[in-house]
Amino acid sequence: MIKNRPRRFDLFYIREPVFYITFCTLNRTAIRELIAAHGAFSRYSQRASQHNVAVGRYVFMPDHLHLFVKGDANFMLSRWMAD
């Protein structure tokens, strides 16, 4: 939480942040099987609810993935990514 912020900004700040994450492939090699990668990511993101996490919009690029993630008040990004 941001400390010492002006009260008028209360409507602009949320308690649980939304993270914008980029996953890169090892050595930035191309993802050859995008359909298989998408299937694996879909299964991974469905398990996110077990950690009170919501995976938002995402896009696969040739050698990386961009996505939005939001957790509850106890969410630790590093723990979720290691799962």
Q: Please report the DSSP string for 14-57 in residue order.
A: -SSPEEEEEEE-GGG---S-HHHHHHHHHHHHHGGGGGTEEEEE
7 lies in some domain: no
- Which of the four pLDDT bands, split at 50, 70 and 90, describes residue 3? low
CA distance 38 to 43: 9
Q: What is the CATH number of the domain that holds 30?
A: 3.30.70.1290
CA angle 7, 4, 69 (to 5 degrees): 85
The model's pTM:
0.70
Tokens of 30: 């191309």
Lowest mean pLDDT among 7-11, 55-59, 70-74: 7-11
Residue 3 lies inside a defined structural domain of this protein: no
Judged by DSSP in three states, 58 sits in strand
> pLDDT tens, 41-58?
999 888 887 878 889 999
Number of domains in the chain: 1
**Would you say residue 1 lies in a domain?**
no
